[in-house]
Structure 1
Amino acid sequence: MLASASPAAALGPAPHDLDRTHVDVRFYPDGTFQIDVLNPPDWLLDALEPLSPNPSATLLEGEARERRLAELTGTFAEWVWMMFDGTRIEAFPEYLPAPPGPGTDPSRPPMGTMRMRGAAPPGATRFSFAYGIANDPYPMLITAGDGTLITHWVGGPVESDAFDIAALTPPSRWSVILTYLKLGFTHILPKGLDHILFVIGIYLLSTRLQPILAQVTAFTLAHTITLGLTIFGILSLRSSIVEPLIALSIAYVAVENLFTSKLKPWRLALVFGFGLLHGMGFAGVLSELGLPRSERLTGLLSFNLGVEGGQLAIIAGMFLTVGWFRHRPWYRARVVVPISLAIAVVGLYWTVTRSARG
């Protein structure tokens, strides 16, 4: 219904698109509800401005940006569908600016909130939701009047499943496994361009399988450690620090490929260190809003397995495309060097732009 019309498809990729939208739905015993839609303010303004009857071409920051978002609540309302028993009710959002500072979770970017309050129609039993601006899957937390809480992933600008307001049922374990396996895989392929380039950089070091597997094993072990530590609140680092360092790690592995084809001890140690950073990046996707509380560990492990599947698919793809030529005398000059140079340039560009965003 909404996918073809989504304006977000025209926006540039974020470092972690799955962490860009969160929706929190709360139903109260008196029949009222509150829906909070959270987005990074810059991204939300970029999405809403072209849809406005009077778009502004001025680049806005800080308080001016927040004031403009408050003016665009009417435009936002046109792209939100709140459905009770299949009937859309009108939204009257108010904009709540992103709080100053890193917030309670410094690994996540600051989020502005579009808040909608209202009352469910008398006798309504089922609720569904759609957010036409979103172009990537996002978590929707639903809290019933009795306190029951479930997490549901919505597949971008489409209508969610319909939920029984009076009897919310947590997803089954198999449903959680399948959902988070898919999310982990698609976070790498096709949406994780930074991780794709890093794995390609690992692959290009050597024509032998053993160095590739050694690096992938070190990277996997490292990001599994920090993914778990970050998700469970033991470790935290601001995304404004993590994302530029991830970009720098991409540039490093590519540049080193230009000077050697041997797996040095420091390369393995650095890949392990870079894996720790990438794990924090993955954890930003699976923040508190993104994991079902009843199956938190299941969701975490399933997402991680999906990520590994995506990484192995990249390596398999490289073997199938350029691996056939790895023993040819021209392989390094015509394949490894130009691809590594391109990856290094992209990594350095991302390092600068992500650092500038702060």
Structure 2
Amino acid sequence: MMRYAAAEQAHSGFATWRRIGLILVLGWIALSLLQPFAAAHPEDEFCTPGGGLDPELCRALSDLDRAPGAGSTAEIAQPTQFTGTPSVDMDRSVLSTFTTYISIGVRHILPGGYDHILFVLAIFLASPRMNPLVIQISCFTVAHTITLALAAAGVITPQASVVEPLIAATIAFAAFENILFGRMTRLRPFIVFAFGLIHGMGFAGFFGELGLPEGQFWSALIGFNIGVEIGQLAVVGLAFAASLYFRGTLKQASRMDLYRPLIVIPASLVIGVTGLIWTFQRLYG
């Protein structure tokens, strides 16, 4: 009887390893497929049929692309008021602008914001407890809101040639820190805040390219930022649901001790390596 129970437990453990291994492999394949789009322009994707972006905004983006000497977003990220950006003159209410830019903010994260998604996942993997996660997400939100507002208002002018590699480097740093430390360090919230300032400059680069309805800067900015937060919370929610599944599977096998070596470390390794690859691509690509 004891031999049968031991065999059944061994079989259950093997099945657990097999399912987790399959999911990790599929995750690696998905990241490999997404990698070529790391430097893509998500704003262009919104202008495809059914993309969800206003036709007037798409027209403005098209005019910007055709403008003499217009460069790619990889060259420079300018604030909304920079010379040469076509203004978007739309006859619409403040509420309509607000809701439109919420949608744009969500779409900037899901599905096209691969670097921001990976950074949020790295934050999530830092600790299995809710309080540290809330602290980190709050620090990240406050920080990127600050720099997004400053850059969009023209107070600072972030250079995308500097910001984009830094964003990728923050992904790698946060992920590898998860591997090196078994729990969230005391400095982690401050590090996340600093990295959030950098990510906010990345958001500002995209926001500045959209063009804005005349006289509706704040409704667009606030709506866009809320949309970004909704997208980030959606990523956290999906990650939390996945972690519940993994934890339930490991708990059934009486191997909760395997959560970190089987989930946190491999996932952080994939995210960290991807961040390093993107860093070198954006520096030397």
What amino acid is the match of 1:330? Answer: L
Q: Which range moves more in the overlay, 315-324 or 238-247? A: 315-324
What amino acid is the match of 1:313? Answer: A
Structure 1 counterpart of 2:31: none
- Matches of 2:198 and 2:139 in 1, distance apart? 13
- Matches of 1:323 and 1:98 in 2, distance apart? 47
String of CA shifts for 1:183-230, please: whole Å, max 9, x gaps.
Answer: 111111111011110000000011100111110000000000000000
Give the direction of change, closer, same or farther, for the CA distance of 1:232–1:108 in structure 2 (3 Å limit).
Answer: closer
1:288 is displaced (CA, Å) by: 6.1
Give the direction of change, closer, same or farther, for the CA distance of 1:263–1:36 in structure 2 (3 Å limit).
Answer: closer
DSSP-derived class of the 2:183 partner? coil
1:294 is displaced (CA, Å) by: 1.8
Structure 2 counterpart of 1:222: 143
- Matches of 1:19 and 1:265 in 2, distance apart? 40
Which of 97, 106, 125 lines up with 1:185 in the alignment? 106
Which of structures 1 and 2 has the larger relative contact order (alpha carbons within 8 angstroms, sep 6+)?
A: 2
Would you say the 8 A contact 2:167–2:199 is kept in 1? yes
The runs of 5 or more residues in structure 2 that have no matched partner are 1-35, 48-56, 80-84
What amino acid is the match of 2:277? Answer: Y
- Matches of 2:186 and 2:40 in 1, distance apart? 29
What amino acid is the match of 2:265? Answer: V
Pairing 1:121-270 to 2, within 5 Å after superposition: 141=87, 149-150=89-90, 170-270=91-191
Give the direction of change, closer, same or farther, for the CA distance of 1:234–1:108 in structure 2 (3 Å limit).
Answer: closer
1:286 is displaced (CA, Å) by: 1.2
Structure 2 counterpart of 1:17: 42
Query: Would you say how many aligned residue pairs link Structure 1 and Structure 2?
Result: 227
DSSP-derived class of the 2:187 partner? helix
Pairing 1:11-90 to 2, within 5 Å after superposition: 12-14=37-39, 16-18=41-43, 37-39=63-65
Which structure has more helix as a fraction of its residues? Answer: 2
Q: TM-score, normalised by structure 2?
A: 0.72
- Matches of 2:145 and 2:41 in 1, distance apart? 17
Structure 2 counterpart of 1:339: 267
DSSP-derived class of the 1:265 partner? coil
Structure 2 counterpart of 1:31: none
What amino acid is the match of 2:69? Answer: P
- Matches of 1:187 and 1:288 in 2, distance apart? 13
Would you say the 8 A contact 1:108–1:238 is kept in 2? yes
Would you say the 8 A contact 1:23–1:141 is kept in 2? no
What amino acid is the match of 1:347? Answer: G
1:319 is displaced (CA, Å) by: 1.1
Structure 1 counterpart of 2:224: 303
What amino acid is the match of 1:271? Answer: V
Q: Which range moves more in the overlay, 184-193 or 284-293? A: 284-293
Taking only aligned residues, the RMSD between alpha carbons, in angstroms, comes to: 2.9
Give the direction of change, closer, same or farther, for the CA distance of 1:298–1:272 in structure 2 (3 Å limit).
Answer: same
- Matches of 2:279 and 2:77 in 1, distance apart? 17
1:13 is displaced (CA, Å) by: 4.7
- Matches of 2:202 and 2:180 in 1, distance apart? 28
1:12 is displaced (CA, Å) by: 3.5
Which structure has more strand as a fraction of its residues? Answer: 1
- Matches of 1:341 and 1:216 in 2, distance apart? 21
Q: Which range moves more in the overlay, 315-324 or 202-211? A: 315-324
What amino acid is the match of 2:63? Answer: V
Q: Which range moves more in the overlay, 347-356 or 16-25? A: 16-25
- Matches of 2:70 and 2:206 in 1, distance apart? 18
Q: TM-score, normalised by structure 1?
A: 0.58
Structure 2 counterpart of 1:79: none
Would you say the 8 A contact 1:15–1:194 is kept in 2? no
DSSP-derived class of the 2:273 partner? helix
Give the direction of change, closer, same or farther, for the CA distance of 1:318–1:289 in structure 2 (3 Å limit).
Answer: closer
| Percentage of pairs with the same residue | 42
Would you say the 8 A contact 1:24–1:140 is kept in 2? no
The runs of 5 or more residues in structure 1 that have no matched partner are 1-10, 26-34, 40-93, 110-138, 143-148, 151-169
Give the direction of change, closer, same or farther, for the CA distance of 1:204–1:36 in structure 2 (3 Å limit).
Answer: closer
